[in-house]
Structure 1
């Protein structure tokens, strides 16, 4: 539901960001903790009620915390080793929190819980089910926090967190086209490039650009009955429908991208290559290369 100031345009637009603040970190961690009991099928604490001489199950928080020391070693913890939200000037790794969100998403299952007896309430029992309908509720809560805080992330139905990419030609339609590329090597390079581009951690930008440039170079050799120059010429001619004006444009773009790949630290890492220090420039290079490839693959035979 939009609030009054949102409905009437009285609120400033939410600043879009990839930085998880301490306040948002707390909200996201609370959302994870709310569903810890849905991990009981992994972290069971067997208890026994001597009064009624019956066993019951609780969520084993201690076992969970110990497991997370191995699974997510750098997530923020208090002095007692418990996963908590950072305070004041605490330094934290936001991507470790993303790991936790994904871990809960991957392992979440439905539970049925309640008192053993409505009258005497001797113990509270958790019964583990083999269904995952609860994931939809968890996904909605996480994504609502992402959306309301302006975070450029989303928890997908595949139970992974991807960054929301703005001002990009990348679309579901293009991803579908990539899946249909007949040549295995080009297809796999493109899939890897897109996955890295959508990864929340900015450190993956360089790898995504390197992969898509590798895909561009392999695309030029699509026609294995021709040498590289002949194959590249056929790719350009097919894209251009044989029209000279478009041949000139696309040939120049292939050459320009090849020069960029050779001049900047993209595919080669010698000391004389130009470093890319601004992630927005990586996004520009990726999207420019993607635009050409996305068009070219529609004409491949």
Structure 2
């Protein structure tokens, strides 16, 4: 069955730019989970047994609720459609459900208790749950999705996705590779705090790169690195020097590398995106110019 609607086909899907799950989407997600509790889909992990000992017959709602409150302690059980959790908590809840879901397969009918005995198709149940959640997100412009394993991922803005798609971290310096790989993977997280952490590691990588070239001190080493990116005395070389100074100043004045009370907190996702892409692009130029990475290819080109 097609999951696209007329407006998607004729006018295009809503851009995935909202990082807040609002009441309308929460209400639908609540119904989605409630339906799967009712049909026994979550019995794949939380199995209710037939009182006559004839096998599984549904979802043990008490066990589901107790484990949910322990694994996602910021939610109240039973869930209420009129009480909207914070977006990161909703994403945790969806991951919890994804780990528990399977497609219920009806077996023999137990007439005395009025239920069927069940088995579960894990792959089909997970795929169906992921598809239903992602359709709700897509139709409402939510910048998150569940991957095939049921883990919540952020849908990156296109410029960020293009920047992070490069395979470029084989610098010959183990710690620098680690910082760059950590920053890129961490920045994919739905959580703003994780992306702040990724931005800090990217600035740490910048500071480390300044010391890779030969030189009598850090200033001389940094100048030597910039000289490999543009010829000394050119306007481009001057522009790169200005950019390096500005990025260093940003890292020291905003709460990126330091946590003094004078540092300003970056509290908007779009601001972090801009800063991360700006620094990432600068580091990519320096890596390529200094011969510390081959000219990268995108994921699509590699295929």
TM-score band, normalised by shorter chain:
0.7 to 0.9
- Displacement after TM superposition at 1:258 (Å): 1.0
Question: Is residue 156 of structure 1 aligned with residue 147 of structure 2?
Answer: yes
CA distance 1:285–1:128, change in 2 (3 Å): same
* 2:45 is the alignment partner of 1:42: yes
Q: Provide the rounded CA distance (Å) in 2 between the counterparts of 1:240 and 1:174.
A: 25
Structure 2 vs 1, CA of residues 35 and 191 (structure 1 numbering), >3 Å: closer, same or farther?
Answer: farther
The aligned residue for residue 92 of structure 2 is 99
Alignment of 1:48-63 (within 5 A): 48-49=51-52, 54-63=54-63
Is the 1:98–1:161 contact (alpha carbons within 8 Å) kept by the matching residues of 2? Answer: yes
**Alignment match, 2:273:** 283
Gaps of 5+ in 1: none
Q: 1:139 aligns with which of 127, 130, 145?
A: 130
Q: Find 1:174's aligned residue among 165, 169, 176.
A: 165
1:165 aligns with 2:156: yes
Question: So what's the TM-score if we normalise by structure 1?
Answer: 0.78
More displaced stretch, 212-221 vs 64-73: 212-221
| 1:1-301 map, 5 Å | 3-4=5-6, 9=11, 16-36=17-37, 37-49=40-52, 54-75=54-75, 77=76, 81-85=77-81, 87=82, 90=83, 92-105=85-98, 107-108=99-100, 110-111=102-103, 113-117=105-109, 123-128=115-120, 132-166=123-157, 168-171=159-162, 174-178=165-169, 180-223=170-213, 228-240=218-230, 244-298=234-288, 299-300=291-292
Length, aligned pairs only:
287
Q: Distance in 1 between matches of 2:252 and 2:87?
A: 34
Q: Which moved more, 1:111-120 or 1:278-287?
A: 111-120
Check conservation: 1:115, 1:121, Cα contact below 8 A. no
CA distance in 1, matches of 2:30, 2:151: 16
Alpha carbons of structure 1 residues 39 and 226: separation in structure 2 relative to 1, 3 Å: farther
CA RMSD of aligned residues (A): 3.5
**CA deviations over 1:118-163 (Å, ceiling 9, x no partner):** 999964112245x534333222221111110111112223532222
Which structure 2 segments of 5+ residues have no match? 294-303
SS of equivalent to 1:97: helix
